[in-house]
Structure 1
Amino acid sequence: MRAILFSFYFVFKFFVHWLLEISFRFSHALFIGFGLFFYMIYLMSILIFAAPANWVLRFFQWTYGWVERKYPDWLKMALRNRTAVLVTALGLFLVSILVIWPNLGSELIPEVHQGEFYVELRLPVGTPVERTDRRILPIEEEIRRIPGVAQVASVSGVDKSSTSQTEEGEHTSKLTVRLKPTPNVAAAEERVIRRIRQIIARHSGFESDIARPTLFTFKTPIEVYIKGYNLNRLQKFGRDLEERMAKIPGLVDVRSNIQRGNPEVQIYYDRKQLARYGLSIRNVASIIRNKVRGDVATEFREADRRIDVLVRLDENDRESLEDLRHLVINPRSPIPIPLQAVAQIRVNEGPSEIRRIDQQRTAVISANMAPGYDLSKLNRAIYNQIMDMGLPRDFTFEIGGQSKEMETSLRSLAMALALAIFLVYIVMASQFESLVHPFIIIFTIPLAVIGVVIFLAIFGIPLSIVVYLGMIILAGIVVNNAIVLVDYINHLRSIGMDKYNAIVQAGKVRLRPILMTTSTTVLGLLPMALGFGDGAEIRTPMAITVIVGLTTSTLLTLIVIPVVYDLVNPEKVPVTAGEPLPAVDPPEDQP
């Protein structure tokens, strides 16, 4: 198991600290459990044998007794039909991997429901903050009246100089909605969010985006990048794709960074007039900037504080276009020259943002994913829409967001899983002093995958990073049962028992330890799988993966691993000197 935990160091950066914590907890639990094992066995034996058997104990004893009587017959039947057993196991594995696995849903990480979420509202760019606040108030009041809502807090407007985000400004508002405590937080959130979308739809002019707090830093589920040099065509393609994505079922809160521009004052210089007066565009622009925005002339010192002294025109001299037209652009000359003498001044709409990625102009269209939809299927639908748009050759596109992060994480997890299996094999090879027996034991890992994939498909649990982490942990747990079984078979053969009877006898003797080990592990993980407490959405898929995989692997290990051992191993091994041969049943059922 420590080999599995060591492989977690190679998992991608988002989960390193979390996985290190899990690794240390597992290691400490193993060491403490080993130290208390014998003492607890002594105490529990006193309690169990001293007390009268209750109905639970009697039911367990009856069930185990029935399995113990039937298992040798099942095992002998499997040994007589080795080909059928192996073909069935291989067929189940191939069907689960090639048929069921590609149709499973996928997500980067399960969505965590904390009873709190954010609603971002945007009016057209250039809307004053006072008007934004007035438009938000009715929506805020309607949200407060939704049953189940405990608190609503809003912040309207963001100083444009304090943010680099084009989507933020005086035209934006952010509402924080907190729900009342309820047993089913997920259902309550979906119900309230659905009502909020209906409320926003009744108020025209708003764009909205609803998001939940995240435990990790992840991108928007869907992000599409269109890259090209021509800004006008880039804006056209960006708006076209935004409209197409808004019509795809499962995508919500679709928006683009190609927004309406901010109203701005544009100055068109007359180069001939500038040359006539001996002026340059650079000097004139610098003078205008210093007079309108201001220039730090000196510092005012008070104790340890330094305060910049900003010098600019009085507000009454720079509040209108006429003031700007009469702005003197040659302050040191004896004859003042107004700006309107060398330039035309207009109010136009400028681009809201020119975003560059890899030094290319880029339009970014993002969207959230509605509950119950598959990220990979939505990506395919977006890809088909982009193909229908017919982008020219000088334009490229890329689908990113969480799907890109998921590809990166899956590569890291695949490396961690391969490293975990390799380390487990190396440890077993050194203990068994054989390369064949560890190979037999490794067969338990694909047997576990069969159960995990089928269970995920039946109950609609999507593949996520947490599920893959559960599979990595599973790789270190499921081999324990096969180790116990193969080791005892080798022991019986080393003292002279033939292969067939050694397999049957080892199955009888090791049946109870294998079932008890699996039962205790499953029962220990059951509270985590049931999803109690905050953050259960993260823990539950991993616990379910381990429980289902371990249960399936145990049941198949008791049948398939003996068959594989019988097929791979030769009949004769040397007998250890000085040890008596055990009395065994005659192999009357041996073919």
Structure 2
Amino acid sequence: VVDNAIVTTDQIIYHIENGEKRQIASALGAGEVGSALLASTLTTLAVLLPLIFITGLIGIFFSSLSVVMSLAIASSLFVSLSFVPMMGSKTFRTQEDRLFIHRYSKRFLIWLERHYALSIDWALHNRKKIIALTLLCALFTVFGFMRIGTELIPRSDTGSVRVNFRLPEGTRVEETERVAKEIMFYAMDNIPELENVYIHGGSSGGGMGALRGESSNTGSAGIELIPKGERKRSSFQVASQLRQYLESKAGFEAVSSSVSSPIMVGSTSKPIVIELYGENINELLEVGDKIKNKIEQIPGAVDVEITQKASRPEVWVDVDKERSALLGVRTNDVAQALRAYYYGVEFDEDYWEGEDNYEIWLRLEPEQRHSWDTLNKLLVPSTTGEMVRLTNVAKIREELGPPEIHRKNRQRLITIELDTEGRSLGEVAADIKGVLKDIDLPAGMRTDVTGDVEDLEETFMQMTFLILLGVVLVYMIMTGQYEAFLDPFVIMFSVPFALTGAIAALLVTGMYLSLQGLLGIVMLVGTVVNNAIVLVDYVNLLRARGYTMRDALIEGGERRLRPILMTTLTTILGMLPMALSRGEGAEIWRPLAVSVIGGLSFSTLVTLVLIPVVYSIVEEKIRRKPRFVEAEGGTSQ
């Protein structure tokens, strides 16, 4: 937001130092840069405003941010063209500051401007070399995008580790609780960073627990660590230690150890979910086990789990329709009677003892409910009111059956879920898709990869569209501003090298390309052109005053170097605390700062050298009709 004010102030100071009065210098300075500031502000708004209208995950994250930034940038334009010139006409002075650091910084800037002018002159005499170097940068950008890992949202070191496990079907609550306590005692003895630990061992499987998939054989443990600044290990290292301990123990059907996310609260599935569709549940489990074994061999794939619970013993009561009809017993009456025997029947009235009331239930004793002999002796009612022995109208047998059946779009499926460690979500997902292609599935079966992978692909497509839309809008705005097509074309050459710098910065820092990193690239599309706009606009102004093209490029570059460096440094220094922060949750927004710092830094360096070269090529080789007097024989000033 200070960029516009910096450019305006610099131009006013320039005229004051050349002997103009403060009022005249303020009017001249603001007038000379006004069109450039308007264009640069509109280009920034062009990439921010579309974010307001995007729905889904991008809209949730960035709509409010884009509104605030758009209002702030629009306000900065108004201030830079009204308040800054007004204050400059009253307060700016010509005498040199006596501070030691200012004297030496001014000498350094003069030296830098002089050598930059020499660099432009060299570049204009070696245009082929400059173009060759830019092509190498473009190749690096393509290579970088192919090499960098991708993820939806960076993982944050929240200091909260959660362990979930599932024991074989039929495991009693007492045994599940014992295993949960073992995990708790291990954490207390072997994790020095531990602050609090809690466990949940087994559930009756009723109420909300049934909706969460809890039962007598499922349990969990939560480990809360001390604050991030007080420990040497991250939450991910602690989760890895717990995972290794759990994998060394036998008896688990499924187990996972992960760091709780501060964003995806309430999500029960893991980042990568493989859906296997088919009709026969046993065949699905067999093929699913083969897929699971192959995925476990993929580097970075951890906590691979088939969420479908193993088949458990069930008692099947097959009612003989002919015999039951002869005896007047209906199938519904058999079902109701068995429910009353084993689940129970609640009386309409409660038992009161003082002010306390107790529900009254009637059902078999626990010993009777677990007895085959009792089951064979049970009686069921007939339509005549007589009681008939159950074994006279039905066959009773023990079978294995799935405890739950999942369907999606009316198709039966099982899911294989996994987490990632040491590699990005996109890299692991790509390897999984390769493995699935090599597996020959039986007829009628198919697979689909969902979870965060599906959101990742959708989000990246939307962000790519936003980047392309931003490029088009920026070009259209500059075309309308300059009433020409070639000047915006020259300025747009600064955009691709913002991608180069952003990808290089992410690769050097070891970060993945995430939603936040892509937001940084979207912002860069609208901001990196600002320096080129300021440079090209001033070069055109000098040429309109009679400068030759070469002298205008050298003089314009030398004059615009200082505001370009100042605006770039203010943005970089503003982002630096976010990039260097190591506090709680800093990992989420760090890629945004790193991508902006890398993209803006590299694009600025390229702009200072490449834009003058491209400008000269366009003017000499492409533009047919000269625009300025010097092009028809004018002289240098």
- Whether TM-score is above 0.5 comes out as yes
Match of residue 373 from structure 1: 423
CA distance in 2: counterparts of 1:43 and 1:346, whole angstroms = 99
User: What residue is the counterpart of 2:469 in the other structure?
Assistant: 419
1:40 Cα deviation after fit: 8.5
Identity value in percent: 31
| 2:306 counterpart letter in structure 1 | S
Partner of 2:393: 342
1:357-380 Cα offsets, whole Å, 9 max, x none, are 22222121111101x213233223
Measure the CA separation in 2 of the matches of 1:177 and 1:434: 63
Instruction: Flag the 1:293–1:582 CA change in 2: closer, same or farther, 3 A.
Output: farther
| CA distance, structure 2, for counterparts of residue 214 and residue 120 of structure 1 | 15
Q: Distance in 2 between matches of 1:274 and 1:318?
A: 24
CA displacement at 1:431 relative to structure 2: 1.8
Q: Which amino acid aligns with 1:175?
A: A
**Structure 1 486/342 Cα, relative in aligned 2: closer, same or farther at 3 Å?**
same
- Do the aligned partners of residues 254 and 220 (structure 1) sit closer, same or farther apart at CA in structure 2, a change above 3 Å counting? same
2:145 to 74, 77, 101: 101
Output the CA distance in 1 between the equivalents of 2:314 and 2:361.
Answer: 23
Alpha-carbon deviation of 1:182?
Answer: 3.7
219, 236, 261: which one aligns with 1:173: 219
**Contact 2:502–2:595 (CA<8 Å) still a contact in 1?**
yes
- Could you tell me which runs of 5 or more consecutive residues in structure 1 were left unpaired when the two chains were aligned: 586-591
Q: Which residue of 1 aligns with 2:68?
A: 25
Picking from 627, 631, 635, the partner of 1:573 is: 627
Mark the runs of 5 or more structure 2 residues left unpaired by the alignment: 1-43
Give the equivalent residue in structure 1 for 2:262. 215
SS at match of 1:27: helix
> Hey, what does 1:543 align to over in structure 2?
593
**TM-score (norm: length of structure 2):** 0.82
Letter in 2 for 1:326: K
> So what's the TM-score if we normalise by structure 1?
0.88
Q: Are 2:123 and 1:78 equivalent residues in the alignment?
A: yes
Partner of 2:305: 255
Structure-2 separation of matches of 1:385 and 1:430: 51
For the pair 1:204 / 2:250, whether they are aligned, the reply is yes
Pair 1:210–1:43, CA change in 2 (3 A): farther
Equivalent position to 2:339, from 289, 294, 318: 289
User: Which whole-Å CA distance do the structure 2 matches of 1:336 and 1:156 have between them?
Assistant: 42
Aligned length: 572
Shift of 1:41: 7.3
AA aligned opposite 1:403: V
Which amino acid letter does the alignment assign opposite residue 88 of structure 1?
L
Partner of residue 224, structure 1: 274
Q: Which residue, 114, 137, 154 being the options, matches 1:92? A: 137
Alignment of 1:436-455 (within 5 A): 436-455=486-505
What are the equivalent positions in structure 2 for 1:310-325 lying under 5 Å apart? Answer: 313-315=363-365, 318=369, 320-325=371-376
Query: In structure 1, how many angstroms separate the alpha carbons of the residues matched to 2:67 and 2:231?
Result: 31
Aligned 8 A contact 2:524 2:596 in 1: yes
Q: Which amino acid is 2:144 matched to?
A: I
Aligned partner of 2:52 in structure 1 is 9
Q: Residue 362 of structure 1 aligns to which amino acid in structure 2?
A: L
Alpha-carbon distance in 2 for matches of 1:240, 1:173: 26
- The range that moved more, 137-146 or 10-19, is 10-19
Verify the 8 A CA contact 1:225 1:398 in the aligned structure 2.
Answer: yes
Deviation at 1:178, TM superposition (A): 0.6
8 Å CA contact 1:239, 1:258 repeated in 2? no
> Which residue of the other structure, out of 191, 194, 207, is the alignment partner of 1:149?
194
Instruction: Return the alpha-carbon distance in structure 2 between the equivalents of residues 428 and 51 of structure 1.
Output: 42
CA contact (8 A) 1:11 1:413 kept: no
User: Matched residue of 1:365: which SS?
Assistant: strand
Helix, strand or coil at the partner of 2:219: strand
Structure 2 CA distance, aligned partners of 1:511 and 1:239? 64
The structural deviation recorded for 1:148 is: 1.0
Root mean square deviation, CA, Å: 3.2
**Residues 298, 308 of structure 1: 8 Å contact kept:** no
1:191 is matched with which residue? Answer: 237
What secondary structure does 1:160 align onto?
Answer: coil
1:34-183 matched pairs, under 5 angstroms = 35=79, 38=84, 50-54=97-101, 57=102, 60-97=105-142, 99-145=143-189, 146-162=191-207, 163-164=209-210, 167-183=213-229
Question: Conserved in 2, the CA contact under 8 Å of 1:223 and 1:366?
Answer: yes
